[in-house]
Structure 1
């Protein structure tokens, strides 16, 4: 009876298990909490690579070997186990300590100003009615559009939803940035990103609290350039939106 090459069997199965876990990680969308979506093609190639590697290892495993070494399996099983945590228990709790800092008041509105922010599609700029709605899908694109064409959009009514950030040395008084966490590549490079809100109210909103603002587009000098800002007319607590924005 031909002896089974248990080392090759273990290595081949480990590669395939890693590929399957990675595929679940991608299919569930959990990967978006750790890696920017534009890297999805590379993840797909990795899945194909691991499946092929596992299959070839099993095929070649029919050759007998006299010394069995199983340490190589740990190289594949360790990342598989690490990925299973976010897949099984929800990725947000594993994604960043910053997520835990963002606060959400019990009375916060799910539809501030009567707007279902993340239920809207499209660019969010209505030139006919001079209205801009910034949500997860268009936050980055609209911020850049306002920066490039400040004069065009001055006076537009803008609605934005995000968390309060004071991570800007040029802020004055109770001004703040209505921010979202921006991910360029992976979770290690997330940073608060958003528009400065010129707020003349007496209340200093708690940092990392989620709010929605209504205001008008204006501008201010910033390191020798003009930067778009929101002159706040109304502000209200809002429900936290999970996930990040991407360029």
Structure 2
């Protein structure tokens, strides 16, 4: 009886092709950084491992290609066929606000006047993110450092000089205590949102400069209000949510929702919430890594 495939095991050939193609596409997505639209950076080594495993399976199955079978089963190859199509033609990433329409804006302090202030800086999150710079200090010392007036003379000067070092050690870069300015870089975004969400009173009156996109889907939003946010991804794209601060622009916002902008203004605490009173707003380029990953 003549075997199907003329000496070629079509099932084994299809399986090997699927393994190899999936491995190559997954490797390409990981190398180019495209995987960051779906999962966090900590998944990178696992994606490399899965790519290598797919190639290994393809090599191991290659020996069966020339062992013909009378009847091949192909339906199970769809398990890899669908993700291959997704990886080969990835969908365009959704606009910022479109990606979070199904989520509450409660992660933006002050976005809902009915709620209570959001505390990004819970004990567990601070420890994970490295916010333990007050751990060895007494409550009295912490208060003195925050006020910048721990005493007179040399002791007082040392206490004043200690606070910037503590902040820097906690990952809070971009602060100038003398000029009372905070410049939030892309890499420090999560650290500062955590700090400002938990300890906004310490920084009231500081001039803050930060980048984000305009988010308007807020409860009880006034005409001059908007949220300056970035998308926070804890695990994968399915759990993305906005993280940022409310802003007031009494001059009238000249930008549309989803526009990336850089805002400079005074940080005020209104009803316990940190809010930027915008003094200058300019268009900004979307950062290469637009999402915020709390845990790398």
Q: What are the equivalent positions in structure 2 for 1:189-200 lying under 5 Å apart?
A: 189-200=239-250
Which residue of 155, 171, 174 corresponds with 1:125?
Answer: 174
Report if aligned partners of 1:33, 1:187 keep a CA contact under 8 Å in 2. Answer: yes
Distance 1:39 1:220, change over 3 A: farther
Cα-Cα RMSD: 2.9
Q: Does 1:233 align with 2:279?
A: yes
Greater alpha carbon shift after TM alignment, 147-156 vs 53-62:
53-62
- Superposed displacement of residue 77, structure 1: 3.0
Unaligned stretches of 5+ residues in structure 2: 1-5, 100-170
Report if aligned partners of 1:95, 1:187 keep a CA contact under 8 Å in 2. Answer: no
Paired with 1:10 and 1:82, the residues of 2 have a C-alpha distance of 18
Residue matched to 2:79: 75
TM-score, reference length from structure 2: 0.63
Larger Rg: 2
| Structure 1 counterpart SS, 2:187 | coil
Q: Does 1:55 align with 2:55?
A: no
- Superposed displacement of residue 132, structure 1: 1.8
Paired with 1:227 and 1:44, the residues of 2 have a C-alpha distance of 43
Report if aligned partners of 1:213, 1:234 keep a CA contact under 8 Å in 2. Answer: yes
Report if aligned partners of 2:97, 2:258 keep a CA contact under 8 Å in 1. Answer: no
Paired with 1:230 and 1:246, the residues of 2 have a C-alpha distance of 23
Residue matched to 1:119: none
Distance 1:156 1:43, change over 3 A: same
| Structure 2 counterpart SS, 1:233 | strand
Q: What are the equivalent positions in structure 2 for 1:139-218 lying under 5 Å apart?
A: 139-203=189-253, 205-218=255-268
- Superposed displacement of residue 69, structure 1: 2.3
Structure richer in strand, relative to its length: 1
- Superposed displacement of residue 179, structure 1: 1.6
* 1:107-150 Cα deviation digits (max 9, x unpaired): xxxxxxxxxxxxxxx85422444322224322222111112222
Report if aligned partners of 2:9, 2:64 keep a CA contact under 8 Å in 1. Answer: no
| Structure 2 counterpart SS, 1:53 | helix
- Superposed displacement of residue 29, structure 1: 0.6
Unaligned stretches of 5+ residues in structure 1: 87-92, 102-121
* Structure 1 moving runs of 4+ over 6 Å: none
Paired with 2:252 and 2:96, the residues of 1 have a C-alpha distance of 27
Report if aligned partners of 2:232, 2:241 keep a CA contact under 8 Å in 1. Answer: yes
| Structure 2 counterpart SS, 1:216 | strand
Which residue of 11, 19, 26 corresponds with 1:15?
Answer: 19
Residue matched to 1:5: 9
